[in-house]
Structure 1
Amino acid sequence: MKKYIIYGSFAAMGILSSVSCTKNITDLNTDPTKPSAVSSSALYASATKEMADAITSTNVNLGIFRLIVQQWTETTYIDESNYNLVTRTIPDNFWDAFYTDALMDLKEAKKVLEADVNTDATVKKNMLAQIDVMSVYGTSVLVNTFGNVPYSQSLNSDSLFNKYDDAHTIYTDLIARLNADLANFDESAAGMGASNMLFSSDEIVNWKKFTNSLKLRLGILLADVDPATAQTIVTEASAGAFDTQGEYAKFPYSTIPPNTNPLWEDLVQSGRQDFVGSNTFVDYINSVEDPRRPFYFTTIGGIYKGGTNGVKSPYANYSHPGSLLEKKDLPGVFIDYSEVEFIRAEAVERGWAVGGTAMTHYNNAITNSILYWGGTEEDALTYLARPDVNYLTAAGDWKQKIGMQEWIALYNRGFDAWTAQRHLDYPQLVPPPKAQSGYPVRFTYPIAQQNLNTENYNQAASAIGGDAAETKLFWDKF
């Protein structure tokens, strides 16, 4: 059954209800737990939470991205660390989380809002733009997960047989939609209010920065497949994207279930001990004496120690996710200043006019991450002075320098770390010895699509070069 979660404020989230006596027996035919009409803001808030949950969760039925990028590994049940996507129908669950639980709600939110004659026209325009930005975000996640997906015919409840659209064509339309949303935003008016979810205030200036940051992310992913277009998009978006330390678009989880961070549910509430740090990640951050280690992991015998990927790694023997990750109300991050600054560093290296130097943007990105996790300015300065971290002396070309540090900064943002790793090709991750595929650069299509939408599935699989985890997405050229 579909759940609608209605948020009252950032301080307290809940549902208020009232009961009265009635003599009208027909009221007995009304189920009080099922609202006859749901507001556009409630639908929007529900969709936003669904997407935040999907990218934040570490549930092995859904969010295995920390395992894919080898930041974590498993203790007992190691199928997901070995890239088994099928047994738990992980692609099906992720697909449904976005299409059924999020994008369908956003479509309905738009429909309800467009029919609303009571909302001020300028406020409505802002609200519609906010709904569309989140729809673009959700669609981009699906494209970056699967490749070609249903788009022009998606969210059609009248048909199970929706055709798949070319991923590059979808990207082009998504960017056009973001440009339209930016043009429609009016900073003189409000929008979703407290239901905007991503910012502590509903100032449209924050939404414009978020929209430009999302546009920047999409633009940089086109750099290797369509560099001229990518340059235009990135230079346009950079000027309006996050530009200040501490800027984030993040979901405000609560300490009150069911609105807690899914990580708390997976790591604490479940009572399970399924995850430890991966030696791939832990060994690297040990080698550079990263100041975020105390926040990322616990110690074992006074040291940070990771388990071997794809091999059973007893919980008691290896470093566990740090206590910050067990907070009920740890926010779920959609995009932040660090990610934006890493993109700007890359843009400078590609010769694109975003201002500043690659080193400055790189330093800003790392410093912002260290401060976010609880480190100090001094920690950041000391870290950036290390020869193996300093942009002038660190190993490799710019892709390696940026890629390795972005992998660290995107800890606890497994999906975004996976996207960045596929784009920059660093770190160069080796599949475990018993992996069921090569390194996965996409999810295979859902089994339900293969069985129920067979003709369109076959066409899509053929168009992308085969429905395999190793089939690269259109923007992943190298």
Structure 2
Amino acid sequence: MKFKNKLSAILGASIVLMASACESFLDVNENPNNPEDAPISGLMTNSTYETALNVYRAGSATSNYVQYLASPNPSSGSDIMDQLDFSGTWFNLYNVMTDLNEIIRKSEESGANHYLGAGQILMALNLGMTVDLFGDVPFSESFNFETVTPAYDDDQILYDQVISLLDQGIANLQTESAISIGGDDFIFAGDIDSWIKFGNSLKARFLIHTKGSSSYDANEVLAAVSGGFTSNADDAQVTFFEQRFNPWAQVAINNENLLLGGWISEQFIEALDGTSYPVADPRLPLMVGTTDDGEFIGVPNGAGRGDAPEQGARSTLIPGQFYTSEQSPILIATYAELKFIEAEAALDSDPGRAYEAYLSGIEAHMDMLGVSEEEKAAYLADESVSMGAGSLTLDDIMKEKWVAMFLHPETWNDARRFDYGYKDMTLPANLNPNLNGNFIRRLAYPDSEVSRNGDNVPEVTLLDRIWWDQ
């Protein structure tokens, strides 16, 4: 059950505003907001809400790298994969994990096993996102307030902790709890079965990242898939309300007001308009806007909008669509994503299962967007889409997953695992010369962390790879 009651949402939003997240180790030794006294319910509200915003923040950081978005200005840092400062994203990830640490501690003390399980699942998600972006990060010394210069933990060891947290969370959700989760949960409104499916779906996500490692086990991925989402109704998402817009809606509104953002990459347009692939995709007009002339025209990454300086001469995110309505949800994890994970994991051992999962992923995303039955059937009837189990390739799966995960940070993990092998995805113009003609592989550690904890920050370049990206 999704959290859709407007009154509850507004009351929950008030809790978010009143019960601010505690400061992480990044700034101070002593927390001025006294998190020890924060009620577990308020911490859950803030953590579910801010986790969704962290998905947005990470997606905003990476959407140019995977060529969903492009800057209208030439040589923009995001487009050319320059070294940028993501101190705000880092701070927000750790702020949520600090609150989650409190939820876990308080839940263990009070026997609130359902809060404990949900907290562990959210901790796994936020920690996993942090590792996927930055590699080695502080964790084991991060939440005891005994040091402002915590040591960095190995990224592969942290991944083991992510999976362990998910397993613990699922197990705790399956036990009796002294306290019940309810409207303080912005994701599932206390629906424990949905939390269990969410935990399994995230486990499948993080396990598929390890596909190139010796520890990878496709059967383990498929077992997690079997316990995960079973339809779009299960999706993990946070729906927004009148007092707070979906942040992608705000990007679209800002763009209309000439605060330029949300311009669409030429790569994305041409992948869906029949240029790069044989069939035009009916999802395109439901995901992005046209030019003032009614055409879909993207911006080449790194090159800018060129000879089209006027607003309306290129496609952008526009208000009112599925991803950009004021009350649109932020999608944290979806059934469509899970079906593509299943397709990838099953491809070598069971092509028939992989093919059915691949088609189901396309249909799930089309249903989410509201594609008509006629348009959906026509798209799926094209032989370049419904090629048969014997002809399905990883390229086919990854292309459709790339479309279905629009604006989501998980796509950057896929792109790196796939070695940016999407058809016609080329390096941006004016590429950062320090990349030596290669795509970016990680974010740089933020300036705030270098200034506060510089002795512990690893020396890395944008080409150094996360442990699973070898």
Q: TM-score range by the shorter chain?
A: 0.7 to 0.9
Determine which of 364, 367, 375 is the counterpart of 2:363.
367
**Does structure 1 residue 9 correspond to structure 2 residue 5?**
no
Q: Give the 5 Å matches for 1:220-235.
A: 220-227=208-215, 229-235=216-222
**Does structure 1 residue 103 correspond to structure 2 residue 101?**
no
Does the CA contact (< 8 Å) of 2:246 and 2:327 recur in 1?
Answer: yes
SS in 2 for 1:226: coil
**Does structure 1 residue 401 correspond to structure 2 residue 389?**
no
Determine which of 451, 457, 472 is the counterpart of 2:465.
472
Alignment deviations for residues 157-179 of structure 1 (CA, whole Å, 9 cap, x no partner) = 22122111111111112212211
Amino acid at match of 1:127: Y
SS in 1 for 2:303: coil
Does the CA contact (< 8 Å) of 1:345 and 1:361 recur in 2?
Answer: yes
Please, which moves more after superposition, 160-169 or 74-83?
Answer: 74-83
Equivalent residue, structure 1, for 2:199: 211
- Offset, 1:57: 4.4
Give the RMSD, CA atoms, in angstroms.
2.7
Gaps of 5+ in 1: 1-6, 17-32, 462-466
- Offset, 1:135: 0.6
- Offset, 1:138: 0.2
Q: Give the 5 Å matches for 1:159-178.
A: 159-178=147-166
Does the CA contact (< 8 Å) of 2:352 and 2:389 recur in 1?
Answer: no
SS in 2 for 1:341: helix
**TM-score where L is the length of structure 1:** 0.82
Amino acid at match of 1:254: F
Q: Distance in 2 between matches of 1:397 and 1:367?
A: 16
Amino acid at match of 1:69: V
- Offset, 1:46: 1.2
- Offset, 1:238: 1.7
SS in 1 for 2:212: coil
Determine which of 66, 70, 74 is the counterpart of 2:67.
70
Determine which of 260, 267, 273 is the counterpart of 2:252.
267
Amino acid at match of 2:269: V
Q: 1:225 to 1:399 in 2, by over 3 A?
A: same
Q: Distance in 1 between matches of 2:373 and 2:176?
A: 36
Does the CA contact (< 8 Å) of 1:81 and 1:309 recur in 2?
Answer: yes
Determine which of 381, 385, 388 is the counterpart of 2:381.
385
- Offset, 1:265: 2.5
Aligned residues: 427
- Offset, 1:379: 2.2
Amino acid at match of 2:378: T
Q: Distance in 2 between matches of 1:422 and 1:330?
A: 28
- Offset, 1:81: 1.4
Does the CA contact (< 8 Å) of 2:264 and 2:317 recur in 1?
Answer: yes
Q: Distance in 1 between matches of 2:346 and 2:370?
A: 29
SS in 2 for 1:165: coil
Q: Distance in 2 between matches of 1:129 and 1:231?
A: 25
- Offset, 1:393: 9.1
Identity %: 23
Equivalent residue, structure 2, for 1:336: 334
Amino acid at match of 1:163: A
SS in 2 for 1:74: coil
Determine which of 213, 230, 251 is the counterpart of 2:238.
251
Q: 1:388 to 1:11 in 2, by over 3 A?
A: farther
Gaps of 5+ in 2: 1-5, 16-32
Q: Distance in 1 between matches of 2:353 and 2:36?
A: 55
SS in 1 for 2:331: strand
Does the CA contact (< 8 Å) of 2:201 and 2:338 recur in 1?
Answer: yes
Q: Distance in 1 between matches of 2:47 and 2:78?
A: 27
SS in 1 for 2:326: coil
Q: Distance in 2 between matches of 1:242 and 1:81?
A: 34
Does the CA contact (< 8 Å) of 2:355 and 2:392 recur in 1?
Answer: no
Please, which moves more after superposition, 216-225 or 239-248?
Answer: 239-248
- Offset, 1:37: 3.9
Equivalent residue, structure 2, for 1:141: 129
Does the CA contact (< 8 Å) of 1:40 and 1:110 recur in 2?
Answer: no
Alignment deviations for residues 19-71 of structure 1 (CA, whole Å, 9 cap, x no partner) = xxxxxxxxxxxxxx99994211211221222221132248xxx8222111111
Q: Distance in 2 between matches of 1:42 and 1:98?
A: 18
Q: Distance in 1 between matches of 2:202 and 2:193?
A: 14
Determine which of 395, 411, 414 is the counterpart of 1:417.
411
